[in-house]
Amino acid sequence: MKNAEDVTFGGSGLNRAAAMRGTEKAKASTGDFIIFVWRGKILMDLDNEPTLAQFRFPHPLCKDADEVFLGCENDQNYIAFDISKWEPAEDDQPDPNVFFDPTQQRHPLLEEKYAFCELRGHMLNLTKREAELCSIAKGLLHWNKSQKYCSSCAGLLQTKLSGWQKNCSGCGATHFPRTDPVVIMLITKGDKVLLGRSPHWPEKMYSLLAGFVEPGETIEGAVRREVMEESGIKVGPVTYLASQPWVFPNSLMFGCHGTALTEAIEIDPNEIDDAKWISKSDLLDVFAGINQSILPARKGSIANFLLEKWLSDRLSD
């Protein structure tokens, strides 16, 4: 796919400046671009056209916040600060039991137009550069928060390389940010595409089938295995289309096209809630809002991206 990086979070060519990590040059200094993250949510500027809230260092919110280096451009750093230690009022707390958290948290030191928001709700408003910064910051800070102890000896880990590495204080083992490979499959048979839904998704929402790549497995093998396990459908030829960083919390999605050899669906209820074939004409009506029997994958996701390419006969573009 020629325009594969047009997908949201597809990259903006940011200089990640790996050689600077762990040096004084990677620490925030006067004039650097900074963004703020709170418990996985990104600080957004909701005035007029919502966009990523970017400030210049120094800023009062930086005090006692964890800092990670994202990259640089024109001799200025991009730095993310995690202020998750801040505790909002009780009625402003997010709901941990929902698929998508619509709540917004406003810090008392900031203007009313600034709020911490779920990234999936605003990802279409971001420029390529803003999307890449958010993706790096969210994924890197999640790893730093969750990776506290060594998996070899349970020793306490110490942050190194400006947030990009952790060393064990006990056995000396080094740990690096984790990314989980996931295949997501556009499975077609003639003019029909296979869609499925997980039980925890919003009502009527359907998307492409997806699953984690297992150890020692190719992407193509994972596509065939996952489709067979979830829907009972046998897949023949598989081609790679595009990828998308999906830091919810730490996946890299490999979008693939597979041609189905069989049509009968037999779902595994332990894997998915439902699966169905839908024709191209019916799916066009779904995307146009004419057919509301199902809801398509969220805009900005690679599933939506691949389906739109298929509907417009542009998988090779």
pLDDT tens-digit profile of 68-102? 999 999 889 999 999 999 999 888 888 877 888 99
Q: Break the chain into its structural domains and give their ranges.
A: 4-146, 147-177, 180-311
Mean pLDDT in residue range 253-259: 98
Q: Indicate the pTM of the whole model.
A: 0.93
Q: Give per-residue pLDDT as tens, 16-54.
A: 999 999 999 999 999 999 999 999 999 999 997 899 999
Mean pLDDT in residue range 152-167: 97
Work out the mean pLDDT of the chain and round it to a whole number: 95
Both tokens assigned to 238 = 């598989």
Q: Predicted confidence band at 11 (pLDDT cuts at 50, 70, 90)?
A: confident
pLDDT at residue 10 in the model = 87
Closest CA to 146 of 117, 118, 175: 175
Query: What's the CA angle centered on 305, arms 302 and 309, to 5 degrees?
Result: 140
Q: Give per-residue pLDDT as tens, 215-255.
A: 999 999 999 999 999 999 999 999 999 999 999 999 999 99
| CA–CA gap between residue 67 and residue 38 (Å, rounded) | 12
pLDDT at residue 4 in the model = 74
Q: Give per-residue pLDDT as tens, 110-131.
A: 999 999 999 999 999 999 999 9
| CA–CA gap between residue 71 and residue 21 (Å, rounded) | 9
Closest CA to 210 of 308, 309, 302: 302
pLDDT at residue 64 in the model = 93
| CA–CA gap between residue 280 and residue 282 (Å, rounded) | 6
Q: Is residue 269 predicted with pLDDT exceeding 80?
A: yes
pLDDT at residue 3 in the model = 73
| CA–CA gap between residue 37 and residue 84 (Å, rounded) | 7
Q: Is residue 1 predicted with pLDDT exceeding 80?
A: no
Domain 180-311: CATH superfamily, name plus number? Nucleoside Triphosphate Pyrophosphohydrolase (3.90.79.10)
